[in-house]
Structure 1
Amino acid sequence: MSLERSDTGSIPPDHAPVVSHYLEFESHVTGGIRESVAHQRKMLDELGIHYTTDPSLDVDVFHCNLVGPRSLWYAKRARSNGIPVIAHTHVTAEDFGDSFRFTNAISKPLKPYLEWAYGQADLLVCPSDYNRRLIETYTDTPTTVISNGVDLEKLDGFESLADEYRRRYGLEPPVVFLVGHVLKRKGLETFVELARRRPEIDFAWFGPLDLEMKGRDTTRLIRESPDNCTFTGYVDDVRGAYAAGDIFCFPTHEENEGIALLEAMAAGKPIVVRDIEPFSWLDDGEECLKVDAPFGDLDPFVDALERLDDPELRRRLGSNAAARSESFSLESIAAEYRTLYSEAV
């Protein structure tokens, strides 16, 4: 077993808990789950918590971030050996649909599988209160909430990239933008149609397209989008997205938390979100503009963007969002992992 630590990499003393911090399918997982795992490991390094990224029973705690077959194999044996099992609840049936090709068909049988799989853990870590309320309808396994957090260091110096990334993609401020995988669930149709309704404004979605993995509707929406709607594909430095964008518009229909949202807040961007339960913790008119818009109703989003034509409102909302994001910094939530593992052991 290869133990990892950021400073010396030394084998820990007997009294220090060792964690198997495992992400099944790690070489294939992208997006928010991968970011969350990177955040977790950065916090463990900074806390000096010793861990291996391999699935192992030669540990004090088995912590899996996906409940795939190999994770469950180890979880079952860990519990039989008295090793506490912690599982992250990144995946729900509710947020699985309208993502990639075939995910809608899989989402229905996925729920009973997750109900059983999450029941194999001793403790579930939920990234938000909303996710916790959802998971508590799946299983009676105890839950705790720890945010995915936002890595402020990753955004350092983002402002300096504004001109470069605007030139690269032909964008003129104020730019309405979004960051992350281009998924129908995240409000793709609303984003595209908003661009059509506001042809004088540039819209940009920074993130992987993966068209070969998308359904027919998603591909059509991307290919038939108006000229002022840019899909950049993968960007080599995500800081460029937050530098080039001015208004973060997130019309998603379902979200467990939303790391990109936290990053946009940390970058001081004014936020427009759909008024859904996952965002109940945000204060409308103070840290964001919430839009109560049934599916297909664009007018409330158009109204919100028109309000943000006012640069002073953009500045105030962005400043308040940045202040609120500080409580989600990795430095602010890291200690929760020390408590998590200590109590589990």
Structure 2
Amino acid sequence: MKTAIYVQDMRASGVVRTMIAMARAFAAEDEVTLLAARSAGIFGARDVAPARFVAASERSPDVVGGVVGAVRGGVPARLAVVPALRRTLRALDPDVVLSGGNFGHFSLWLATRGLRIPVVYVFSNAMERPGQPWRNRWRRFWSGLLVRGAAGAILVGSNLAHSGVFRPHVASGKAVLIPNGIDLAAVPAADGTVPAPLASPVPSILAIGRLTPQKNFEALIDAVAAARRHRPVRLVILGSGEDRYRVALEARTAALGIAEDVVFAGLTDDVYPWLRAARVFALASHWEGASIALLEAMAAGTPIVASRTAGDAAEVLSNGRFGLLVDPGDAEAFAAALLRQIDSPVLPGPRVAIYDAPLMMRAYHRVLTKARDAGRARVAPAPGGTPPIR
């Protein structure tokens, strides 16, 4: 099976890491290309091998097509990559395409108009988000439109499967729930490495995520400020993102008097030394689909505090059995949970075993094979006829 797995760029996000792992696993049996609209990010061909890597917006000797200049994120960028992406897809001629993340669906949808390539979309973020009534309405409409025209849809969390947008498609079998997973066999063994920002006798709380309001770092900063009234603690935030948001977060730490104990540590291609060196992993998101960072924290054995609004966090943590759950709007309760996990931790134990990536990947492969077979049936010529042009 010729499979293309599409991502918008190669940033160090949970979606990108998952799709890279998927491409590498599928390459054992299939001809697989990890296709990015742009190569921006810290990952590249070496990380994707043995699968092939192609960036549609850059000149490549393997792909017929032109060049689209580097542009930043947003709707203009997603439109700008469409011509090169379409040409690249025509050159690759895959049997099926897996669109790995919400951010890239729009570009791929436009690029595949009229190409008769079966597309399976992965939905990994909540449809309903606080304070966004009109955008929520548009998001529901657009997601429903995507699923109706797709060869299939994969939902990474039960919160998505139970939403009004996807429930009818789950009932019909067009959309399936496949919880996120991580490859436990690939989790590196502890080697004693302690990243410099965590090399402190003061207990460190680690957060991982793109610097965007979705991740609700404000609540975590407020909780750390409240916790520091009881004992010294530090906060390390691993990730990059919106400059304006980071500036606002830095201003918040300064206003609370904790700027020296909050570190914005940037990006890494290996989160496990950070997780093992931290005393607590904290997830404060307003919304999620299903957090990969949460699973990685469980695999590292790091005590966890997660917001009840962070997608499937309550289900993953078995309603508090394997980590603490909090209301992210209650800074004092959040602080108390952080301090408890430092002093008398509730550990994640073996819970992550049910989220092992091979289980997820086999389920994905079944969905893609079904989509490919359905696509072949649609384009097969009638007896005595000629096949349609792809």
Quote the residue 1:77 is aligned against: 114
Quote the residue 1:305 is aligned against: 338
Distance in 1 of aligned mates of 2:303 and 2:225: 21
Report if the CA contact (8 A) 2:272-2:296 is conserved: no
Quote the residue 1:87 is aligned against: 121
Percent identity, please: 19
The alpha-carbon deviation at position 125 of structure 1 amounts to: 0.9
3-state DSSP of counterpart to 2:114 = helix
Q: Deviation per CA, 1:200-220, whole angstroms, max 9, x where unpaired?
A: 333333323445253764453
Distance in 2 of aligned mates of 1:204 and 1:294: 16
Q: 2:303 aligns with which of 256, 270, 280?
A: 270
3-state DSSP of counterpart to 2:27 = helix
State which drifts further: 109-118 or 177-186. Answer: 109-118
Report if the CA contact (8 A) 1:184-1:218 is conserved: no
Unaligned runs of 5+ in 1: 1-16
Quote the residue 2:6 is aligned against: 22
Question: After the TM superposition, which residues 1-345 of structure 1 pair with which residues of structure 2 at under 5 Å, given as runs?
Answer: 17-23=1-7, 25-27=8-10, 29-46=11-28, 48-54=29-35, 55-56=89-90, 58-66=93-101, 67-78=104-115, 81=116, 83-92=117-126, 94=128, 109-134=138-163, 136-137=165-166, 140=169, 142-162=174-194, 165=195, 167-172=196-201, 174-199=203-228, 200-212=231-243, 214=245, 217-218=248-249, 220-221=251-252, 224=255, 226=258, 227-235=260-268, 237-276=270-309, 278-281=312-315, 282-291=317-326, 293=327, 295=329, 297-311=330-344, 314=345, 317-318=346-347, 321-344=348-371, 345=373
Distance in 2 of aligned mates of 1:257 and 1:243: 21
State which drifts further: 335-344 or 52-61. Answer: 52-61
Read off the aligned partner of 2:359 and give its amino acid letter: S
Distance in 2 of aligned mates of 1:43 and 1:181: 26
Report if the CA contact (8 A) 1:151-1:329 is conserved: yes
Q: TM-score, normalised by structure 2?
A: 0.68
Q: Deviation per CA, 1:49-104, whole angstroms, max 9, x where unpaired?
A: 322335347332232225545411454434xx4x5321111355546x89xxxx99
Label 1:187 to 1:323 Cα distance change in 2 as closer, same or farther (>3 A). same
Read off the aligned partner of 2:27 and give its amino acid letter: D
> Could you list the runs of 4 or more consecutive aligned residues of structure 1 that deviate by over 6 angstroms after TM superposition?
103-108
Q: Deviation per CA, 1:180-214, whole angstroms, max 9, x where unpaired?
A: 22333223112111221222333333323445253
Read off the aligned partner of 1:284 and give its amino acid letter: N
Label 1:121 to 1:92 Cα distance change in 2 as closer, same or farther (>3 A). farther
Read off the aligned partner of 1:258 and give its amino acid letter: S
The alpha-carbon deviation at position 262 of structure 1 amounts to: 0.3
3-state DSSP of counterpart to 1:53 = strand
3-state DSSP of counterpart to 2:337 = helix
Distance in 1 of aligned mates of 2:124 and 2:23: 16
Read off the aligned partner of 1:87 and give its amino acid letter: Y
Q: TM-score, normalised by structure 1?
A: 0.76
Report if the CA contact (8 A) 2:182-2:357 is conserved: yes
The alpha-carbon deviation at position 251 of structure 1 amounts to: 1.9
The alpha-carbon deviation at position 159 of structure 1 amounts to: 4.7
Q: Deviation per CA, 1:115-157, whole angstroms, max 9, x where unpaired?
A: 3334321210111111222373598482112233113355313
Unaligned runs of 5+ in 2: 36-88, 374-390
Quote the residue 1:8 is aligned against: none
Quote the residue 1:7 is aligned against: none
Label 1:69 to 1:270 Cα distance change in 2 as closer, same or farther (>3 A). closer
What is the number of equivalent residue pairs in this alignment?
Answer: 307
Read off the aligned partner of 1:151 and give its amino acid letter: D
The alpha-carbon deviation at position 266 of structure 1 amounts to: 0.6
Label 1:202 to 1:339 Cα distance change in 2 as closer, same or farther (>3 A). same
3-state DSSP of counterpart to 1:221 = helix
Distance in 1 of aligned mates of 2:266 and 2:168: 38
Distance in 2 of aligned mates of 1:190 and 1:256: 19
The alpha-carbon deviation at position 168 of structure 1 amounts to: 4.3
